[in-house]
Structure 1
């Protein structure tokens, strides 16, 4: 079977059997599409089953030649591995040419965080006299108070707020649901926004259940959340390169610095593997080292 036919089958498999989100499926198909074009144009191979390990090595060398970062190369290789695992699963192939294919070694980059003083400085930079300001305060409080991903925030529904017990139901990666506690301050500003601002604005048809809306009454985009935070950082005089994810990183780091159990933080963040959460323990160790240096008489 040719590339196009198998890529359509792969798409159905990702959607129906693995229940992946649309953006994840698009990423996988993009990665396979890169190999497809390389195999046909450079190698003259019209079928995925004709691609060998040496062909894949040539493809990776081409990615490197194009100047792709190690992280981008690793993601593409991961997508291609998933595609060939699918072909094995469907018995289209008997052997996996990606079995020995290695991704570039990646250093674990510690994410940027804000200390609590910087969080407060950002919040105080918001103009609370405007409806947008009240909304933005609620947005930042929820990001920091619950550690949500930006997609989880913009997709948050009114029906998923359980204010009486202090929990949010969020849909994370792979459409997996989890319950996340919401802090008292975040809940306070969320209530102010909902009861004093949102009820007075127009709401576009089909967007009635979304929590955070723009001036046209439609739910906010991810890009808009980035823009709000970038503009606030400039206003507050914070020089760090921050994004919505910075609040999630800060949420996790501050919990660990306060003594929270790593497994609890993993559950709150919705990480499938604890190794993803463990990156924050490195930050915690830096904090402990700093405290030791500052306060121990023999340091």
Structure 2
């Protein structure tokens, strides 16, 4: 429970994130959780600080407590959320100093994403039971995840009106409600078209008529449901990898790069603001780098 001392500042911060920065509700919820963790710490230690009076020492104590409870990556994310909140307070002239100035974010190693081979992706998709009502939906979904490199949140939000098959593109709404056009292959188009032919016979809930991928109740699929579908298929083929919807996105980017695609083009398709983000998603092995030099360097 957020105390009244923090509630009004938190509300105005949420409004700022939504209206001025255009962040998604999921991101705003994560920022809110970061601040609520700090407030819980204050309550547990019977500290009466408000966002305006909290000191650098108290925040350091909070971070130290966190470091004994969670891993470095989670700790870094919370510190980042708190920094955004206190930068906002300074921006709005609620406070003059920045109490996180001397607090360092834990150093994180570059985590290389798991990927699937083309064969593993084929095996997962072939394991889908097409005799079941949801089979064609699941095949179209996984083909779209891998074929277009979407985030799971983008997949479940995809609309029929976002499909521009004649032009060979789909319109994707990404983080911060930013829209981009992503090429869609004839193969992926084919599986979506097959699914749409079955979808027309579904009883669709009001408000979801334009949502492409529907659950059994005729409403939008949840992200958790997509996770579950993928986990079950991986178990079915006895895949010895921990995978998620994001694994298909990583694989999309990696396979494009390995086949000679330009990193900047991949960045645009993934919807990354910074090319450095794309570099984390796309791990380069030495063999591929050697091939690039041998193919493109003038002194090969």
Asked whether the two chains share a fold, i.e. TM above 0.5, the reply is yes
Tell me, yes or no, if the aligned pair for 1:3 and 1:46 is still in contact at 8 Å.
no
- Deviation by residue 1:165-219 (Cα, 9 ceiling, x = unmatched): 1111111111111111112211110111112x10112111111110011121111
Q: CA separation of 1:76/1:280 partners in 2, compared to 1, >3 Å: closer, same or farther?
A: closer
| Map of 1:256 onto structure 2 | 257
| Map of 2:113 onto structure 1 | 111
Cα distance in 2, alignment partners of residues 255 and 115 from structure 1 = 12
Greater percentage in helix: 1
SS at match of 1:253: helix
| Map of 1:161 onto structure 2 | 163
- Deviation by residue 1:64-100 (Cα, 9 ceiling, x = unmatched): 22x2111111111011000100110011111111122
Tell me, yes or no, if the aligned pair for 1:20 and 1:175 is still in contact at 8 Å.
yes
- Deviation by residue 1:228-281 (Cα, 9 ceiling, x = unmatched): 111111122211111111100000000110111111111100111111101245
TM-score (norm 2): 0.92
Cα distance in 1, alignment partners of residues 46 and 58 from structure 2 = 8
- Deviation by residue 1:39-87 (Cα, 9 ceiling, x = unmatched): 354262331222222221111111122x211111111101100010011
Shift of 1:124: 1.4
Structure 2, unmatched stretches of 5+, are 293-300
TM-score (norm 1): 0.92
| Map of 1:242 onto structure 2 | 243
Shift of 1:286: 4.4
Cα distance in 1, alignment partners of residues 232 and 19 from structure 2 = 40
Q: CA separation of 1:286/1:139 partners in 2, compared to 1, >3 Å: closer, same or farther?
A: farther
Cα distance in 2, alignment partners of residues 130 and 173 from structure 1 = 33
Cα distance in 2, alignment partners of residues 7 and 289 from structure 1 = 47
| Map of 1:72 onto structure 2 | 74
Cα distance in 2, alignment partners of residues 262 and 224 from structure 1 = 31
Cα distance in 1, alignment partners of residues 231 and 11 from structure 2 = 39
